[in-house]
Amino acid sequence: MLRIFDVVAVFAFLKILSYFIEFKYLDLDTFNLQWTVLLGFYILLFYTIFEMYDLQVASNTEATFKNGSIGALLVVIAFLFTPYISPILPKRRIELLYFIGAVYISLLAWRMFYIRFFASSRFHKHILVIGNEEEFEMIRSAIEKFNPNNVIMGFIGTKKKVSKSIDPKFTFVKAEELENFVQQNRVSEIIMAVNSPDFINPEIYEKLIVLLESGVIIREYTQVYEEITHRVPVQHVGKDFYKYFPFSRSNQNQLYLIFHTMMDWVLSVLGLIVFFVLLPFIWFGNLTANRGKLFYRQQRVGKNGAVFEIIKLRTMIQDAEANGPVWAQQNDQRITRFGKFLRRSRIDELPQLINVMKGEMCFIGPRPERPEFIDQLSKKIPFYETRHVIKPGITGWAQVKSKYGANEEDMLEKLQYDLFYIKHRSLFLDLNILLKTLTTMIFFRGQ
């Protein structure tokens, strides 16, 4: 809806504008398909880069105004300075001001309208959860955090008495009250978060059948979790793991793999050109701020567990791991001032393009981890080594969606994102990662 109405709002405003003032620059009466497609493309491109299709950002007034303003400005600049495809600049300069104002006002006005009406409580999805009390907080957080329009109205536990760990603000629903509760609270979806059907007693089962027949949606939690978080919930995967890992057909799709290889080469060549242009400035920054070797090598684990050496720009003080391998932490004192810039801009990753050219890595894929950490994590996190079924990458789904892995909990989250990518990898998801990587670089979110 957001994508469609972003484009519709701009063209509708331009059309209305032409009725009231003399505006010939982008006259929609003389229909030109390439102008229309170009403007629509830039709107979707820049609003994707600035995260305007993230529901959490789209529902926040401050973030919408900030990101939406920058995105609208770049839409106009890109459109005006695209040669040949965009219309010739008008002789009356005032028309450029009209055009800039039309794009800016229409996009922000529509987005404020969305926040006021569509992101309001009247459009919330009311949900009832049936599951284990001990895991309720994790379930609630995942359902509500990643989609602000999801609201949990009640909870049915697998035990007869409500656990003290459940927040009192959530209604504990008894089996005999299930149908009335669903009707009174306009519950449209029931989420089953139980590890086995045996936890559901016959009374609840019969009522669920009636509700299903009346149109209430009933879904399994892992399905919902993966859909709204774009992560695979490995902590809920048991002996029937094969249900959750029907890995993407793209892993055997020769056309996709050829495209993926071509993309690796093209992006690597372009990236290395940029790197060699920046190299004198990086060398000078390293000479004055880092004071030591410019490059360093480090062992990492690749596809099928093969060990190789990555090449990186040094961002830490010399002998940073004199006492053994340690995870980098937030505000790590070992990272130099210039190193922080290299990390935040992701420039420190550019030498790894050589690993891509050698075939040891891809441009997009799970980040390769160190052997010392692999041995430690695979013993504590289920299915951790599953991420080695494809080549590792310079950037990936986990890198653009999660924070830096500083402990086992963070690494579990990153694994969930990595498995989602392996399971769903496609051309669209790769392009999505590239755009989000660009956003990370623009906002200096590298870590």
**In this structure, what CATH number is given to the domain that contains residue 147?**
3.40.50.11060
Tell me which of 65, 89, 118 is where a domain ends.
118
Largest CA-CA distance found in the chain, in angstroms, rounded? 77
User: Helix, strand or coil for residue 66?
Assistant: helix
Evaluate whether residue 208 is within a structural domain: yes
Q: Please tell me the distance from the alpha carbon of residue 251 to that of residue 385, in angstroms, as a whole number.
A: 17
What is the tens place of the pLDDT at every residue in 209-268? 888 888 889 888 888 888 888 888 876 665 555 565 656 666 777 888 898 999 999 999
Q: Are 113 and 131 in a shared domain?
A: no
Instruction: Collect all residues with Cβ–Cβ distance below 8 Å to 388 and sequence separation of at least 6.
Output: 301, 302, 303, 304, 305
Evaluate whether residue 241 is within a structural domain: no
Evaluate whether residue 238 is within a structural domain: no
pLDDT of residue 161: 55
Q: Are 294 and 327 in a shared domain?
A: yes
Q: Hey, which residues does 125 pair with through a beta bridge? A: 150
Q: Are 253 and 381 in a shared domain?
A: yes
Binned at pLDDT 50, 70 and 90, residue 197 comes out as low
CA distances 295 to 272, 282, 355, Å, are 15, 11, 14
Evaluate whether residue 346 is within a structural domain: yes
Q: Are 327 and 395 in a shared domain?
A: yes
Q: Is a pLDDT exceeding 60 seen at residue 289?
A: yes
Q: Is a pLDDT exceeding 90 seen at residue 111?
A: yes
pLDDT of residue 137: 76
Segments forming the whole domain that contains residue 378? 249-442
Mean residue pLDDT across the chain: 83
Binned at pLDDT 50, 70 and 90, residue 277 comes out as very high
CA distances 355 to 279, 298, 308, 309, 372, Å, are 18, 12, 9, 8, 20
pLDDT of residue 354: 94
Evaluate whether residue 237 is within a structural domain: no
Binned at pLDDT 50, 70 and 90, residue 319 comes out as low
What is the tens place of the pLDDT at every residue in 1-34? 899 999 999 999 988 887 888 777 776 655 578 8
Answer positive or negative: Cα dihedral of 411, 302, 223, 260. Answer: positive
pTM score, whole prediction: 0.75
Burial 64-102 (b: 16+ CB within 10 A, else e): beebbeebbebbbebbeeeeeebbeeeeeeebeebbbeb
296: closest CA among 286, 306, 284?
286
Number of domains forming the structure of the chain: 3
pLDDT of residue 227: 83
Bridge-based pairing of strands 307-313 and 362-364 is unpaired
H-type helices in 146-201, by residue range?
178-184
Report whether 79 contacts 41 (CB < 8 A): no
Q: Are 368 and 401 in a shared domain?
A: yes
The single residue listed with the structure tokens 């990518």 is 421
Q: Are 296 and 438 in a shared domain?
A: yes
Evaluate whether residue 447 is within a structural domain: no
Q: Are 158 and 261 in a shared domain?
A: no
Evaluate whether residue 13 is within a structural domain: yes
pLDDT of residue 264: 93
Average pLDDT over residues 98-117: 90
pLDDT of residue 237: 65
Selected residue with higher pLDDT from 25 and 425: 425
Selected residue with higher pLDDT from 322 and 272: 272
pLDDT of residue 302: 93
Tell me which of 91, 118, 145 is where a domain ends.
118
Other residues' Cβ atoms within 10 Å of the Cβ of residue 369: 22
Q: Are 158 and 278 in a shared domain?
A: no
203: closest CA among 156, 152, 139?
156
Q: Is a pLDDT exceeding 80 seen at residue 278?
A: yes
Selected residue with higher pLDDT from 40 and 331: 40
Q: Are 264 and 402 in a shared domain?
A: yes
196 phi, psi to nearest 5 deg: -150, 140
Q: Are 75 and 33 in a shared domain?
A: yes
User: Helix, strand or coil for residue 218?
Assistant: strand
Average pLDDT over residues 70-91: 86
Binned at pLDDT 50, 70 and 90, residue 281 comes out as very high
Tell me which of 102, 118, 134 is where a domain ends.
118
Selected residue with higher pLDDT from 155 and 265: 265
Selected residue with higher pLDDT from 407 and 377: 377
Supply the DSSP string of 97-157, one letter for each residue.
HHHHHHHHHHHHHHHHHIIIIITSGGGPEEEEEEE-GGGHHHHHHHHHHS-TTEEEEEEEE
Q: Are 262 and 302 in a shared domain?
A: yes
The single residue listed with the structure tokens 């990153």 is 414
What is the tens place of the pLDDT at every residue in 352-368? 999 999 999 999 999 99
Most confident of 56-65, 128-137, 348-357, 398-407: 348-357
Average pLDDT over residues 114-123: 76
Q: Are 131 and 47 in a shared domain?
A: no
Tokens describing residue 121 = 């409580």
Selected residue with higher pLDDT from 377 and 354: 354
pLDDT of residue 198: 62
Tokens describing residue 135 = 């895991």
Q: Is a pLDDT exceeding 80 seen at residue 336?
A: yes
Other residues' Cβ atoms within 10 Å of the Cβ of residue 350: 23
Binned at pLDDT 50, 70 and 90, residue 345 comes out as confident
Instruction: Collect all residues with Cβ–Cβ distance below 8 Å to 154 and sequence separation of at least 6.
Output: 128, 129, 170, 171, 172, 173, 181, 185, 187
pLDDT of residue 372: 85
- The one-letter code for the residue type at 128 is L
Evaluate whether residue 243 is within a structural domain: no
Report whether 54 contacts 63 (CB < 8 A): no
Binned at pLDDT 50, 70 and 90, residue 36 comes out as confident
Report whether 265 contacts 357 (CB < 8 A): yes
- 148-162, 267-281, 395-409: which has the minimum mean pLDDT? 148-162
pLDDT of residue 310: 93
Percent of the chain with pLDDT over 70: 85
pLDDT of residue 164: 56
Other residues' Cβ atoms within 10 Å of the Cβ of residue 242: 8
